Amino acid sequence: MDVCAVDLGGTRTRVALVSANGEVLARETFPTPASGSSGSAVADAIEAAVRRIAGPRPPAIGVSAAGPLDLRAGAIVSPPNLPYDRVELVGPLEAALGVPVTLLNDARAGALGEHAHGAGAGCDHLVYVTISTGIGGGVIAGGRLLLGRGGNAGEVGHITVETRHGLVCGCGYPNHWEGYCSGRNLPRFYAAEKRSRDPAYATAESIFEGARAGEPGAGRFLDTVAVLNGRALSTLVVAYEPERIILDGAVVQAQADLLVAPAVRRMERFLPLPEVVTSPLRGDAPLLGAAVAARQR
Amino acid sequence: MDVCAVDLGGTRTRVALVSANGEVLARETFPTPASGSSGSAVADAIEAAVRRIAGPRPPAIGVSAAGPLDLRAGAIVSPPNLPYDRVELVGPLEAALGVPVTLLNDARAGALGEHAHGAGAGCDHLVYVTISTGIGGGVIAGGRLLLGRGGNAGEVGHITVETRHGLVCGCGYPNHWEGYCSGRNLPRFYAAEKRSRDPAYATAESIFEGARAGEPGAGRFLDTVAVLNGRALSTLVVAYEPERIILDGAVVQAQADLLVAPAVRRMERFLPLPEVVTSPLRGDAPLLGAAVAARQR
């Protein structure tokens, strides 16, 4: 059975028609509407794209979106990367299109996508981690998505990994993995390590370029990043004891050679090490996971 | 259906006959055998106690034991608190008694016990944490015990909570919750905070007594402990998003007023706070959980 899948990001939205075996039969990408007096432009743009791709009577729809989500209300609440207080999704889309719409967090969707069609196929205990602007995660435990009381289990960007510097992440608290090692926060962590107070001291790109060019300062900093990433992955191992950890997200995709193996070398050998791999799905894991969620419902 | 439950600890072993509603119908406690050329004395002592309590044809048996466990082999492997390389349990007990024997980690058993008969009754998303010599944990997710690939999911003593001092815990790695806040390691953490190199600088008891007597040094130290405990509980919240966290173990039972509320005050309000409660089962959570495991099988 084909379904519609939507991956709603801060800058772009992707809408696709996806077959039962995870093949993308048609897709459309457009800038996420970020103006207007309310968030209704977002659901309107998704509705139009779904009609173009799947016709006037589309199949069930799964929507993956960056949180925070109110799953019961089917809405995004106070999104940090969109200029709206609230984006209603499930209600307007179901009313306009007359089909069931399933909303889930993009990192939880990524875990579902990997489990069904990517590096997690056949693996009943896995953790999916996406490192991009922020750090998110999703967990498959015993073959099923770990949800927690409200769908937020696996918010692994907010585990403690470092108490030096006291860097605060987007959630408002210090010491979290995301506060140090996400794409947005790496430059600030670098400046803190180098004792600079200049907020424009470096960009993530300049750090990675510097390391590739052999700059010792950048290289030493990435060694420190590997220590923190190794610690974070080790906490995931004792929390979930996965067989596999799948790394994804823009930062990992662009810099896998500088990030993945060095972090694995720093992992603690307390429990048997899981395999640590990068996503083979080229950024489509959340989109494919949204399709899985639509189909499961 | 009654079952037999065994809780095998480093110093004492408890054997009980437990009814389906969690009532302990008979119980016997004896020192865990810690001499002899092999670990076989342990299974022998359990077998004899089971026969005394349940007669010559006992019902199914659940055994809760401190790890590390080899669940496939039904044995304890290199236990830090017993003078044996290996303690075979499932094989010898099944052979001697002719009934199925189910082995599980004591903290995972505690979670099962609380879920069935304690503070977790009716709660499908909970984390059980035991703070005694070490720190262990067990997680109920969606009403079921979270196991991971080998039964070690929820080893929460080994999550990172503090990178100052670099204190190493029993697993050999630094920065873990257990390395700072377990009963065994609190005195070392206190000495590190006070910049003492004397390993006998304090005992856990003297620290708590000092705080109760109004000693500012001990009181400030317990404030720092609350920060770490709050951080650890916050990591559990983002990892599992539980409705309830249940605290148990000798240290919590003896010092609940100095440990629980101060830690809760330090928890991060990123996701909705779970209830944090102490176990009402007076140390019997693992024993009752062993009974649940025997019955489930």
% of residues, chain B, pLDDT over 90: 89
Average pLDDT over residues B1-28: 96
Is A265 found in the same domain as A128?
Answer: yes
In sequence order, what are the beta bridge partners of B17?
A: B4, B26
Q: Is B289 domain-assigned?
A: no
Look at residue A114 and tell me if it is in a domain.
no
Q: Is residue A215 part of a domain?
A: yes
CA distance B250 to B12: 13
Is position A266 within any domain? Answer: yes
> What mean pLDDT comes out for the span B188-214?
95
Q: Does A147 sit within 8 Å of B238, measured CB to CB?
A: no
Q: Do A160 and A43 have their domain in common?
A: no
Q: What is the structure's pLDDT at A37?
A: 66
The verdict on B132 and B274 lying in the same domain is yes
Encode burial over A193-206: b for 16+ CB neighbours within 10 A, e otherwise.
beeeeeeebbebee
Domain closes at, from B40, B72, B104: B104
> Quick one: pLDDT at residue B197?
87
**The Cα angle at residue B275 between residues B272 and B276, in degrees rounded to 5:** 125
CA distance A260 to chain B (A): 20
- Do the beta carbons of residue B27 and residue B53 sit within 8 Å? yes
Set of chain A residues whose Cβ sits within 8 Å of the Cβ of B147: 141-142, 241
> Which of B78, B104, B130 corresponds to the end of one domain?
B104
Predicted local distance difference test score (pLDDT) of residue A67: 78
Q: What is the DSSP letter of A10?
A: S
Average pLDDT over residues B157-178: 96
Q: What is the pLDDT along chain A (297 residues), one digit of tens a residue?
A: 899 999 999 889 999 999 999 999 999 999 999 877 678 999 999 999 999 999 999 999 999 998 789 999 999 998 877 889 999 999 999 999 999 999 999 999 999 999 999 999 999 999 999 999 999 999 999 999 999 999 999 999 999 999 999 999 989 999 999 999 999 999 999 999 999 988 789 999 999 999 999 999 999 999 999 999 999 999 999 999 999 999 999 999 999 999 999 999 999 998 999 999 999 999 999 999 999 999 998
At B173 the pLDDT is: 96
A148-198 residue pLDDT tens: 999 999 999 999 999 999 999 989 999 999 999 999 999 999 999 999 988
Q: How high is the pLDDT of residue A94?
A: 98
Dmax (CA) of chain A = 59
B224/A66: higher pLDDT:
B224
Mean pLDDT of chain B: 95
Q: Cβ B160–A159 below 8 Å, yes or no?
A: yes
- Lowest pLDDT segment from A265-269, B34-38, B70-74, B282-286: B34-38
β-sheet with B61-65: strand ranges across: B24-31, B12-18, B3-8, B61-65, B101-105
Does residue A79 sit in the same domain as residue A48? yes
- The per-residue pLDDT for range B260-288, each reduced to its tens digit, is 999 999 999 989 999 999 999 999 999 99
Domain that holds residue A131: 121-278
Same domain, A148 and A209: yes
Q: Which B positions 250-279 lie with beta carbon below 8 A of chain A?
A: 268, 270-272, 274
Q: Is residue B85 part of a domain?
A: yes
CATH number at residue A35: 3.30.420.40
B241/A271 CB distance under 8 A: no
For A150, the closest chain B residue by CA position comes to: B241
Judge whether B248 and B133 are in contact, CB under 8 Å: no
CB pairs under 8 A between A and B: 136
Both A160 and A33 in a single domain?
A: no
* Whether residue B86 is found in the same domain as residue B53: yes
Length of chain A: 297
The closest CB to that of B141, out of A146, A270, A272, belongs to A146
pLDDT of residue B83: 86
Looking at residue A39, its pLDDT comes to 86
Q: Which of B153, B171, B271 sits opposite A240 (nearest CB)?
A: B153
In a domain, B79, yes or no: yes
Of A251, A233, A228, give the one whose Cα is nearest residue A132. Answer: A251
Mean pLDDT of B77-85: 85
Q: pLDDT value at position A199? A: 77
- CA dist B246 and B250 (Å) reads 14
Total number of domains in chain A: 2
Q: Measure the CA–CA gap between B193 and B203, rounded to whole angstroms.
A: 14
Of A24-28, B168-172, B204-208, B237-241, minimum mean pLDDT range: B168-172
A174 and A206 housed in the same domain: yes
Q: Does residue B85 sit in the same domain as residue B13?
A: yes
User: In angstroms, rounded to a whole number, what is the distance separating the alpha carbons of residues B177 and B228?
Assistant: 8
Q: What is the pLDDT of residue B37?
A: 65
Q: Are residues B247 and B161 in the same domain?
A: yes
Does B261 share its domain with B186?
A: yes
* pLDDT recorded at residue A10: 87
Say whether pLDDT at B81 is over 80. no
Mutate to test the interface with B, among A149, A161, A167 (most CBs of B within 10 A): A149
- How many other C-beta atoms can be found within 10 angstroms of the C-beta atom of residue B35? 7
Specify whether the CB–CB gap between B279 and B247 falls below 8 A. Answer: yes
| Residue A70 shares a structural domain with residue A155 | no
Residue B218 counted as domain residue:
yes
**Residue at which a domain ends, from B45, B79, B104:** B104
Per-residue model confidence as pLDDT tens digits over B101-110: 999 999 999 9
Least CB–CB distance from B175: residue in A159, A231, A272:
A231
Which A positions 155-184 lie with beta carbon below 8 A of chain B?
Answer: 155-164, 171-173, 175
**Structural domain includes residue A113:** no
Question: Are B272 and A150 in contact (CB < 8 Å)?
Answer: yes
Residue A76 backbone dihedrals phi, psi, to 5 degrees: -95, 135
Whether A147 has its CB under 8 Å from any CB of chain B: the answer is: yes
Cα dihedral A205, A169, B237, B131 sign = positive
